[in-house]
Amino acid sequence: MSSTPRNMADATSAFIVHDERFRKLIDNPTLEVLVENETYPFAHEAGVFIESTNELFVTSARIKDPGSQGQRVQISKVILGDATTSAKQEEIDSSRVTMGNGGVNYGDDGILFCAQGSLDVPSGLYEMKVRPPYNVHAVVTSFYGRQFNSVNDVVIHSDGSIWFTDPAYGFEQGFRPRPQLPSQVYRYDPVSSGIRAMSDGFGHPNGICFSPDEKTLYVTDTDRIHGAGVFDDAKASTIYAFDLNTRHGEPCLENRRLFAMADSGIPDGIKCDLYGNVYSGCGDGLNVWSPGGTLIGRILVPEGVANFCFGRLGEIFILNENKIWRARLASHVKGALLRI
């Protein structure tokens, strides 16, 4: 394992401008490897930045483990360091978040993780505290008694409601029972404990995020790759946009439309900056679209990107399986989630 940052030989060549609007986001950009671990793909999903401690929480890709129904996922904390200390990975107890996947900041001292579950443990959303002993408790684990498929990614609205995706990857990858529900997007109200299915018709709903004004919800459909790793180029590799409206005093999603299609791999994790630009991890790196859906630029990363998150003042932490990269954009670029 290496914890020493290193710059690419020519970092600027990794930033591809398709539209002049992207150039305004990348004033003297840099790209470097922060942490590398060749023993297993430790940096696959989640990517939750904790500003108060300058730490990053990530979930691994599936790891072969004869003692855990053949496979498991490891959660790690990455201590990002500073000008005098290198970043380092620290594994933490992952047993209470079964087959963890996406995650989001939850309150002042928590992370809401998607637990995909197992043949014996239900899939759902679990809160984990960010400090030892990393206490965990279940938030929601079923749709009125019907088990979720394998909850994948999650985002929180400013009203406190929790929105998440639930594809059937767990069944396809052999660690979840046959689906009891369609592949859908859900909204959970932690105050009333009410849960609603908000949108269906997906192949594999995956990444999810809101625009900065929360008037638009974005959902990626990664149906091009099925759970066994089989590509079908005729299937969706798509970002959909929905208007978030209110009818009869209740939230609803309307005007579903194709926002963008990824030409390389699939659009996995997705987030917005405060300007409304949409970023997604794809097969060639991090792709960036304007609020209107035009591809304006890319940050090329060898072997692609599953997920990522914004840090402070233009930082982006890019999860690249065995590596975590840090891109530095212009300091005025801020993620819509944390607004820092």
Instruction: Report if residue 10 sits inside a domain.
Output: yes
Question: Is residue 334 in some structural domain?
Answer: no
Q: Is residue 169 part of a domain?
A: yes
> pLDDT tens digits, residue range 25-72?
999 999 999 999 999 999 999 999 999 999 999 999 999 988 767 899
Which amino acid would we find at residue 318? I
Residue 52 within a domain: yes
Spatial separation of the C-alpha atoms in residues 282 and 260, rounded to whole Å: 12
Q: Is residue 1 assigned to a domain?
A: no
CA 189 vs CA 38, 149, 207: distances in Å = 40, 20, 20
pLDDT tens sequence across 220-245: 999 999 877 889 999 999 999 999 99
Its domain, for residue 56, covers 6-328
What are the tens digits of pLDDT across the range 21-34? 999 999 999 999 99
The answer to whether position 19 is within a domain reads yes
CA of residue 262 relative to chain centroid, distance: 16
Secondary structure element (H or E) that encloses residue 22, with its range: helix 20-23
pLDDT digits (tens, 9 = 90+) for 244-282: 999 999 999 999 999 999 999 999 999 999 999 999 999
pTM over 0.85: yes
- Total domains present in the chain: 1
pLDDT in tens, 187-196: 999 999 999 9
The answer to whether residue 333 is domain-embedded is: no
Specify if 95 maps to a domain.
yes
pLDDT at 5 over 70: no
Dihedral sign, Cα of residue 265, residue 48, residue 254, residue 139 = positive
**Domain of residue 57, CATH code:** 2.120.10.30
User: Is the pLDDT score of 7 beyond 70?
Assistant: no
Q: Cα(186)–Cα(173) distance, rounded to whole angstroms? A: 22
Task: Provide the sign of the torsion angle of the four alpha carbons 8, 10, 13, 15, taken in this order.
Answer: positive
User: In angstroms, rounded to a whole number, what is the distance separating the alpha carbons of residues 205 and 219?
Assistant: 7
Residue 11: predicted pLDDT: 65
Rounded CA-CA distance 329/327 in Å is 6
